[in-house]
Amino acid sequence: MPKKEKKIEQRTLKELSTPNVNQQPLCIEFPNIDVAFKSKSGLIYLLPTFHGLAGEDPHKHLKEFHVVCSTMKPQGVTEEQIKLRAFPFSLADNAIDLLYYLLIGSITTWNDLKGSFWKISFKLQG
C-alpha cells in the first residue's frame, strides 16, 4: 500500500512569525462606548493611507487623518474614540504589520497611539 504524502504548506519566515490576528487582540484597548457605534465604510474610504515608505510624511498623515475624523460626530462618541477605532484602517503594508507587534492592550489613548505611530514611522523610514 503506497504511503500518502502530506502536503506541507510553504510559508515565509515573516508569515510564520506574524501572529494570527484572528486569535489575538490588537495593541489598542478600545474604550467602552455607551451608544451603538459602527464605523461607516464611507469614513474608511476617506481615510488617508500611510504605507511606511521612504518620503512619506507621518505628520501630514496625522493631520489628514484628523481632518477626516473630525467630520464624524456621532452622538455619545468622542473624537478620541473614533480615532482609536479608525486609525488601523489608515495604515497599510509595513506600517500595519508593525502595529501587530506592539504589546496587546498597550495603547489606551489617542496620545499613546500617536506616539507609537511616530516610533513606527521612523523605524520604517530609517
107 to each of 16, 79, 85, how far by Cα in Å? 25, 16, 12
**Cα gap 99→41, rounded to integer Å:** 21
Q: Which carries the bigger pLDDT value, residue 24 or residue 53?
A: 53
**Contact present, 89 and 45 (Cβ < 8 Å):** no
pLDDT at 60 over 70: yes
User: 16-25, pLDDT tens digit by residue?
Assistant: 666 555 555 6
User: 66-125, pLDDT tens digit by residue?
Assistant: 999 988 777 778 889 889 989 999 999 888 887 788 888 899 999 999 998 988 887 776
Q: What is the model's pTM?
A: 0.72
- Within a 10 A sphere around the Cβ of 84, how many other Cβ atoms? 21
Domain ranges of the chain: 40-125
